[in-house]
Chain A
Amino acid sequence: MLSLKEKDRPIVRKLLCAGCCVRCVLRFCCVGTCSAYRRSYELLAFISEESSPQPHDASGEEKTDEPPNKRLRIDEGSTEASVTAAQTDSDICPVCLGVLQDFCDPTFAKQVSDAVKNQQYEFNSLVLTVSLPAQLSVREHSCWLHVKKEIREKSMCLGKEDVIQVKDAFKWAVQGKIGQELGAAVLANVSSSCEVSVGFMHPETEEDCHFLANTCPDCFKPTKNKASIFTRMAVVKALEKISEEKFSRHYPCPPKKTNTRCTALDTTCLHTSVFIAGRYNKFSRELPQTPWVIDGERRMDGSVEELIAAPLLSSFRADGKLCVGRPNQIRIPNCRRCVCYFQMTINQSSDKIRVRDLQIVTREATSRMKEGEEEKTKTYSALIWTQKAIDSTDLEFLANIKDLKIAQKTPLRVLHRRPLAVRPRLIHSMSSIYLDGHHFTLKLCTQAGTYIKEFVHGDFGRTKPNLCDLMKTNADILELDVESVDIDWPPAIPD
């Protein structure tokens, strides 16, 4: 239900005078109903009703001063508003530069939908993103100032935030048709859906922004690669800073009309990244977590990463790189399927690993995993060799050590890819099982992020104190098993 009121009439008139299109008029009247932007003939009926004399209006002075708008005439009587040859260049709205005119027609919506279909994405829902040329913000600002002056004279208020944004109006106008064409729901937020990007450019007015570089130079940072410094964000920032008076001096209010309308860029589709989390167990000591390659030569066959990722990659038909942040968290950009059960596939593919609790998680969840690395604890079991001969009494003292503070310099074995630093860590508790004169099993519960091997052999004395110091002998680690990772995420999924 459209709701233009009496009070809107002066704004409507001023905007139509400036050459604004119907949808821009609605925007500046703060009409927030999506349906209002869809049906042009309805719009027009209201606009022409509002801008022309009401039958019951006694004075009859409200006759529009300007000649009937060409646009109104063209769209009238047709449910499918289409571009006709009669539409002249002067009809291009100086505020939206045509984005809210022809591009809101079903023809364009179909064009976008066809482009998506051609790229063969599968999805149940999509998100529409629109990118507009930066100068639209300048023209919007100019139009707002123009209208504001009028309002002030009638002692009313029009906040810039109350004005409906071009992006929103566009989406409201087209998403119904696009959704219909593609058989998918159009969502407002980006979560596990397909992102359809529509972009526009308008070379003719690119210089509209340039005056801002002189008035607000600190908003514009030099760019690499000869990219334009007039990014949308920079322009918006400058418009926030510049005073109304200064703006009006440098730029016409209302904005000048143009000869051309915007050109649409190619529609692109992108599946937002899917994040999959789970837990894995590794049953082989000869399997590294990530591929071990030195100088292009593979040192050990396979890896946890590859075993988990392979079935996912092929099922997802993912292109581009696969990022494995931690072994139990995989990010897959540009995948084309929704997740079903890959757990079974992975578990059947190899007896060296087992995964469980595989599930899709949000991007935000990945930070929970990072948190876990810092805060949580892990329990290990290690087979220790000692140089000096020991008996079981020599091990008793280990059980009495609680919350031992150690300082670990970045181990030499990872120093090539990690920054050099000293990491304070806690060994919460230990216990031991005597095996023979030179061997025992050491169980430890440590802060997550502790390098166990280095704690045992000392890493050239760069982890202090270490087990060699504690036991006053050279010691080495022969086997290391993770007993548990004490973090309650991702949530367990019953089989």
Chain B
Amino acid sequence: MEDSEKKAPSVIDRYFTRWYRTDLKGKSCEDHCILQHSNRICVITLAESHPILQNGRKIKNINYQISDGCSRLKNKVSGKSKRGGQFLTEFAPLCRITCTDEQEYTIFSCIRGRLLEVNEDILNKPDLLLEKPSTEGYIAVILPKFEESKSVTEGLLTREQYEEVLTKRNQQEEPC
């Protein structure tokens, strides 16, 4: 967990707004955190409550090949307008993560937009995802359409709303 000896806001606090999607596809606690930059670019990360980050789990494998015809690793963008990036909808899978306890989790896009890049560092070093899920362990970077920059977060929870969800869960004592 990050030490909070800080007096000044972090890079994320300064530039990003945190949005959340909880219980993705009805699966309990599979929460994602979307970091939205003031320039509308979004970074998809695991929320701190995601099962992968609980109970000292270890990651066995991360796979960006989400179907026979589609690998997120093959995503290539060019030019300022990022031509060629795969267009994603909210429930487009980004990758599948298998833990050492054989539990499999799919990470989803959560927003509509053009995929700019996926994090290849976590392929080599899965611990990054466990240790720094909000920064170096990010999953993907997505660029929403200009016209949709604001509407893209409709349907997502704010930080406060997310914390309410967490509180409710604790009260119901749902282990993740």
Mark A residues whose CB is within 8 Å of B.
Answer: 294-295, 385, 387-388, 409, 412-420, 438, 457-461, 474, 476, 478
Complex contacts, A478 vs chain B, CB 8 Å: 8
Hey, what's the 0/1 contact readout for B1-25 against A, CB within 8 Å counting as 1? 0110111101100010000000000
User: What is the distance, in angstroms, from A479's C-beta to the closest C-beta of chain B?
Assistant: 10
Does B58 sit within 8 A of A, measured CB to CB? Answer: no
Chain A residue nearest in CB terms to B81 = A419
Q: Is A412 a contact of B8 with CB atoms below 8 Å?
A: no
Q: State whether B15 touches A419 (Cβ < 8 A).
A: no
Q: Do most interface residues of chain B lie in helix, strand or loop, or is the interface mixed?
A: loop
Q: Which of B43-101 contact A (CB under 8 A)?
A: 43, 77-80, 82
- B38 touching A438 by the CB < 8 A rule? no
User: Which residues of chain A come closer than 8 Å to B121, judged between CB atoms?
Assistant: 461
Contact of B3 among A387, A413, A417 (CB under 8 A): A387
Give the residues from 90 to 129 in chain B that come closer than 8 angstroms, CB to CB, to chain A.
Answer: 116-117, 119, 121, 128
Chain B residues in 8 Å Cβ range of A415: 39, 41, 116, 141, 143
* Residue from A295, A417, A460, A476 within 8 A of B8 (CB atoms): A476
Q: Which residues of B contact A476 (CB under 8 A)?
A: 8, 10-11
Contacts of B6 in A (CB 8 A): 385, 387
B162 within 8 A of A: no
CB distance from B3 to the nearest CB of A (A): 6
CA distance A457 to B149 in the complex (A): 26
CB distance from B24 to the nearest CB of A (A): 22
Contact B5 A420 (CB under 8 A): no
Collect the chain A residues with CB atoms within 8 Å of residue B80's CB. 417-419
Docked complex Cα distance between A156 and B11 (Å): 80
Given known A-B contacts A387-B6, A418-B80, A476-B10, A460 and B15 have beta carbons under 8 A apart: no
Min Cβ gap B157→A in Å is 22
Contact A461 B135, beta carbon cutoff 8 Å: yes
**Cα A123 to Cα B21 with chains together (Å):** 64
Q: Can you give 23 A-B contacts (C-beta < 8 A)?
A: A295-B150, A385-B6, A409-B117, A412-B15, A412-B37, A412-B141, A413-B39, A415-B39, A415-B116, A416-B39, A417-B80, A418-B80, A419-B77, A420-B82, A438-B5, A458-B136, A460-B138, A461-B128, A461-B132, A461-B136, A476-B8, A476-B10, A476-B11
**Docked complex Cα distance between A419 and B78 (Å):** 6
CA of A317 to CA of B115, assembled, Å: 45
B152 to chain A, nearest CB (A): 13
Per CB-CB distance, the 3 closest pairs between chain A and chain B, nearest first, are A461-B136, A416-B39, A457-B11
